[in-house]
Each structure stands twice: as C-alpha cells, then as structure tokens.
C-alpha cells in the first residue's frame, strides 16, 4: 500500500462549480498535510498547509483533514479556468521528508 493515495483524474468541471479533491494516507502518525498546485510546465507551489485535524480556509480554498479516517481534502469554491492545474497532496513526515500523492489534473471549463 502506498503511503499516500490520490486519484490522478483528470477531473473536468464547468466554471463556477465546487471542486473536491481527495487523498488517503496510511500512517496515523502523520501531522503535517499540504496541497501543492502545479501549472503546466511549472514546478509545484505550496497552496495550503494544515497541521493535524480540522479545516483551514483561504479565500475560495478550504483544506480539510480527517485523521480518524486518514483522509485529506481540498475544496475549491466558484472554480475558475485559472484553477486548471495539477493538485498534489503532500505529507511532511519529519526529518525533511515529504511524500506526495500522484496529483489530480483539474480542468475548469469556461
């Protein structure tokens, strides 16, 4: 079993839709959860960061961690074509090690 599992998609939605992106992980000891966004032919950049359980909101983006089910979610409200990118969940395991999901390709159609 991979440490982090993520459906690679692609996921195609119309502009204005609510997008839900998800990952599952295997180790209940993990505490630091992140979402990176990667535009085509660019490097990933940190989008959201959450420590332990709960929600974190930043504008149209909400990151959610459910440690009881080992489930990580990213919600995008009022999605825009500019949100079209690959979204990678990531877990910082300590010791300078970060493990990444496969990334979900998102297309938002105008």
Partner 1 sequence: GAGVSQSPSNKVTEKGKDVELRCDPISGHTALYWYRQRLGQGLEFLIYFQGNSAPDKSGLPSDRFSAERTGESVSTLTIQRTQQEDSAVYLCASSEDSGRNTGELFFGEGSRLTVL
Q: Which residues bind partner 1 (CB under 8 A)?
A: 6, 8, 32, 34, 36, 41-46, 49, 51, 88, 90, 92, 96-103, 105
Work out how close the CB of 9 gets to partner 1 at its nearest, in angstroms, rounded to a whole number: 10
* Both tokens assigned to 25: 């992980």
| Locus of tokens 């440690």 | 67
Work out how close the CB of 44 gets to partner 1 at its nearest, in angstroms, rounded to a whole number: 5
- Which of residues 51 and 71 has its CB atom nearest to partner 1 in the complex? 51
Q: Are 93 and 15 in contact (CB under 8 A)?
A: no
- Which of residues 18 and 46 has its CB atom nearest to partner 1 in the complex? 46
- Pairing mode, if any, of strands 11-14 and 104-109? parallel
Q: Is 23 helix (H, G, I), strand (E, B) or coil?
A: strand
- Which of residues 17 and 102 has its CB atom nearest to partner 1 in the complex? 102
| Locus of tokens 């992106």 | 21
- Which of residues 7 and 15 has its CB atom nearest to partner 1 in the complex? 7
Work out how close the CB of 16 gets to partner 1 at its nearest, in angstroms, rounded to a whole number: 27
Say which residues have a Cβ less than 8 Å from residue 53's Cβ, sequence separation at least 6: 65, 66, 67, 68
Work out how close the CB of 100 gets to partner 1 at its nearest, in angstroms, rounded to a whole number: 4
């Amino acid at each position: 079993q991979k440490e982090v599992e993520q459906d690679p998609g692609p996921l195609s939605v119309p502009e204005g839709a609510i997008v839900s992106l998800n990952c599952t992980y295997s180790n209940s000891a993990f505490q630091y959860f992140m979402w990176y966004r990667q535009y085509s032919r660019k490097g990933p950049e940190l989008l959201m960061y959450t420590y332990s359980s709960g929600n974190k909101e930043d504008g149209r983006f909400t990151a959610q961690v459910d440690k009881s089910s080992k489930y990580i979610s990213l919600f995008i409200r009022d999605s825009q074509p500019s949100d079209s990118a690959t979204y990678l969940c990531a877990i910082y395991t300590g010791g300078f090690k970060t493990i990444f999901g496969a990334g979900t390709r998102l297309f938002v159609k105008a």
